[in-house]
Structure 1
Amino acid sequence: MKILVVGKGGREHALLTAFNESPTETELYSFPGSDAIAEIATRVDVDGLEELIKWMLTNKIDLCVAGEESYLVTGEGLANLCEKEGIPCWGPHFQSAQLEASKEFAKEFMLRHDIPTGAATGCANIEEARAAINGVYPTVLKFDGLAAGKGVAVCPDEATAEEFLNEVLVERRFGEGRLLVEECLVGPEVSVFAAVVDDKYLIFTPARDYKRALDGDRGPNTGGMGAVASRQLVSQELLGQIEQQIVKPTVDGLVKDGLPYRGFIYFGLMITEAGPKIIEYNCRFGDPECQAVMPIVGGDLAQFCFDGAKGALNSDLLSFGEGWSVCLVRASAGYPETSRSGDVITGFDAVKGARVYHAGTRKNDKGEWETNGGRVLAVVAGGADRASAVEAAYVQLEKVTFPGMQSRTDIGTFNF
């Protein structure tokens, strides 16, 4: 089976690794890929999605898998272009991917289908946003479009709110777009993932990611400094409640609204005193949660995604481990405000009993691995219980080093 994965980061490295380890014989390709991904998948060098579609047709690709979200809403949309040419695609259509591409679209969808969420007001300018906040803090501010995981701010006071409003609506840090002023929900966060095929779904292992840069969930928001995954993360009772109140109504709502969906969907949840409420959707696997979840997914992911893209949800192709998986991110100097490239990375050969997924790395002229982005890599280890998985991951993380590296020391140790 010839599979092409679209993307270049740690999530795509994890997905391609899982496809490579599937019992189904695979021939793997990536676009645009990375030096690390190139060790298991051939990189495709074309200019843009239309040229990529032509390449897939010429090379008889059996399955296209959407990793990064941006390609789903670029131009006509990756899945839409694939469908036109009869290429099975694991990833939703452009119109369905608006659940992630537009926070306002997603909020209206949630309210229309009675899916528990926080109250929100859409705003076009800074005056409307100030009026919507109306002096109530803390408040949550969200840029309406895609912002690489950095378009959300939890503002405890007027000063922090004004700073973010200025960045989004005056300086246009993320480009043109509206802003959502949202009720600040309180409680532990949980990430739930499902594979959706039309009106059917399969829930994967729940996870929890750590967005803040510093220990104790302090510091600026990031794309994610680590994650844990386990079927023990939430009780079966709570997971059942999440399924009945959020997952199933979402899938039913997609069908009712005529929004085609075949692919992964992410539910970012807050477990409030009033029960689980959804914060946001992502129309693909989360990052770095994917790196934590994939090592405890057993079975044949390649065949599962191929069948799903063709319209069949074959749940019996997959199994899920009962233990814990812990993902620890190494970030470069200056992250998240900036990132530094060119720092040589050492210690990969010393890692034992753990996985290393590359996110922002490259090989230099000497053949050495070096930093090439903000979140550089993730080290992932497992264990029968949370404590043993955390210990195993940190032991192996310490072996991989580079100048200016940043990591949290408390991933998986609190907030459960």
Structure 2
Amino acid sequence: MYKILVVGGGGREHAILWKLKQGSREVELFCAPGNGGTAQLAENVPIKADDVEGIVDWAKQNGMDMVFVAPDDPLALGMVDALQEAGIRTFGPTKAAAEIEWSKSYSKWLMKKYGIPTAEFEVFDEADQAIGYLKTAKYPIVVKADGLALGKGVLICEDFEQAKQAVSDIMLDKKFGNAGARVVIEEFMTGPEVSVLTFCDGKTIVPMLPAQDHKRAYDNDEGLNTGGMGTFAPTLKFTKEMQEYAQKEIFEKTVQALNAEGRIFKGVIFFGLMLTPDGVKVLEYNARLGDPETQSVFMLLNSDLLEVIDAVIDGTLDRMTLDWKDGSAVCVVMASGGYPQKYENGKLIEGLDSIEDGVVVFHAGTRKEGGKCYTNGGRVLGVTATGKDIADARKKAYANIETINFEDAQYRTDIGIK
């Protein structure tokens, strides 16, 4: 029996476990810390995802054959390095390679140095210097906290007053903690956003199906930025010509750039792309699978995930071709009322046993207690369906949302329309 520990406790981790369970190899799965949904597929381990020492000790003591480090925080803390030093087979990039996510200023510098298309930008360590620059800037403009801020540290500002307030919130009031010690201010790009998850073994980079995320909390892209309120895949806006351009000028160039800097990347690189009037440009990198993009993309993946993971770790991805199902997938996030700001946990979730075949409910913020399931986070569930096209998948996802109930549940009704 092949023992695998997946580090994390969200919808992405539930989707990883769900996909691993479908593989040809017999696996025994563990998830740290996991949630109410992962408990149905794996043994939940009560260790926080960012407890590097705790995870390494537990993996050693319990004879894990492989550890999959899924979230951004433990990657930024060097969990992969620590596991590898302990002689444990690990999926995920080292701390140095993952800097493309945990430092926005580093990722922008890398793109600039190696000619990877992205927005014009400036980096500031002092608030007064940033505000001085904003006085002469062109609006709208984007102000970003340099570090990890749960997908919420990006503020689009329409005028100087908004931008000045954003800098003040990030750098002076420390709204995102230490993530805001430095800010990146960049040109506002227009066009559809596309998320492309890719497997990378340090030499070869293989894209998954392109997806589209919905970041804003409410319908019609209104409200605050969130970690993501829903996704669909594949998106038709990312044409074959765009894909070929991105493969050569963005994906492969990024791997070459990291190699040239001595940062061999093995794992998943997430490319947040903007399809601008001037061509495809990089909005951001993530050094891991996206959440909730993974939920919709993995619903369409035919390939054995464990075989792909092995190819990434062993550097044999060039021998692999990813196999995809026909059709589309849509994931709609059901969140706690008030998310992404203040919300309450502990609401009883009902109706999870009445989901139809072909629809999977991935748990993000849930906990199991006494055989019942309760809310335990901002994003609670990802109701994910496949269909012959996006409209069909959408219809199924929303029909099943109707059967699920918890107090103050909120979700967007327009996922997949755009």
Note the alpha carbon deviations across 1:225-262, whole angstroms, 9 max, x for none. Answer: 00011164522111111111100100111111110211
Is residue 86 from structure 1 mapped to residue 87 from structure 2 by the alignment?
A: yes
Give the alignment partner of residue 323 of structure 1, picking from 298, 313, 327: 327
- Paired amino acid for 2:142: V
Give the alignment partner of residue 393 of structure 2, picking from 380, 389, 392: 389
- Paired amino acid for 1:142: K
Q: Offset at 1:182? A: 0.5
Is residue 156 from structure 1 mapped to residue 161 from structure 2 by the alignment?
A: no
Instruction: Output the CA distance in 1 between the equivalents of 2:106 and 2:380.
Output: 32
Is residue 350 from structure 1 mapped to residue 341 from structure 2 by the alignment?
A: no
2:313 is matched with: 309
Instruction: Output the CA distance in 1 between the equivalents of 2:350 and 2:162.
Output: 39
CA RMSD of aligned residues (A): 1.5
- Paired amino acid for 1:241: Y
Between Structure 1 and Structure 2, how many residues are aligned? 411
Q: What secondary structure sits across from 1:193 in the alignment? A: strand
Q: Offset at 1:167? A: 1.4
Q: Is the 8 A contact 1:63 1:306 kept in 2?
A: no
Structure 1 unmatched ranges of 5 or more: none
Percent identity of paired positions between Structure 1 and Structure 2: 38
Instruction: Output the CA distance in 1 between the equivalents of 2:332 and 2:303.
Output: 25
Q: Offset at 1:200? A: 0.9
Q: Offset at 1:60? A: 2.2
Is residue 51 from structure 1 mapped to residue 62 from structure 2 by the alignment?
A: no
Instruction: Output the CA distance in 1 between the equivalents of 2:411 and 2:114.
Output: 40
TM-aligned CA distance change 1:195 to 1:111, over 3 Å? same
Q: Offset at 1:149? A: 0.5
Q: Give TM-score scaled by structure 1 length.
A: 0.95
Is residue 361 from structure 1 mapped to residue 366 from structure 2 by the alignment?
A: yes
Q: Is the 8 A contact 2:270 2:286 kept in 1?
A: yes
Instruction: Output the CA distance in 2 between the equivalents of 1:163 and 1:288.
Output: 30
Is residue 258 from structure 1 mapped to residue 262 from structure 2 by the alignment?
A: yes
Q: Is the 8 A contact 1:232 1:322 kept in 2?
A: no
Q: Offset at 1:30? A: 1.1
Structure 2 unmatched ranges of 5 or more: none
Note the alpha carbon deviations across 1:42-76, whole angstroms, 9 max, x for none. Answer: 122357322321222232212111111100122xx
Give the alignment partner of residue 186 of structure 2, picking from 171, 182, 185: 182
Instruction: Output the CA distance in 2 between the equivalents of 1:300 and 1:135.
Output: 49
1:378 is matched with: 382
Q: What secondary structure sits across from 2:243 in the alignment? A: helix
Give the alignment partner of residue 274 of structure 2, picking from 267, 270, 273: 270
Note the alpha carbon deviations across 1:311-347, whole angstroms, 9 max, x for none. Answer: 3216536411231100000010111111211111111
Instruction: Output the CA distance in 2 between the equivalents of 1:107 and 1:372.
Output: 35
Q: Is the 8 A contact 1:149 1:223 kept in 2?
A: yes
Match runs of 1:8-407 below 5 Å:
8-46=9-47, 48-74=51-77, 77-133=78-134, 134-176=136-178, 177-230=181-234, 232-313=236-317, 316=320, 318-352=322-356, 353-364=358-369, 366-407=370-411
Note the alpha carbon deviations across 1:56-106, whole angstroms, 9 max, x for none. Answer: 2232212111111100122xx111112212212110000111100000000
Q: What secondary structure sits across from 1:34 in the alignment? A: coil
Q: Is the 8 A contact 2:345 2:376 kept in 1?
A: yes
Instruction: Output the CA distance in 2 between the equivalents of 1:172 and 1:339.
Output: 21
Note the alpha carbon deviations across 1:85-128, whole angstroms, 9 max, x for none. Answer: 22121100001111000000000000111000001111112211
Instruction: Output the CA distance in 2 between the equivalents of 1:194 and 1:315.
Output: 15
Q: Is the 8 A contact 1:139 1:182 kept in 2?
A: yes
Instruction: Output the CA distance in 2 between the equivalents of 1:62 and 1:71.
Output: 19
Q: Offset at 1:299? A: 2.1
Q: Is the 8 A contact 1:5 1:29 kept in 2?
A: yes
Q: Offset at 1:17? A: 0.6
Q: Offset at 1:159? A: 3.3
Q: Offset at 1:174? A: 1.4
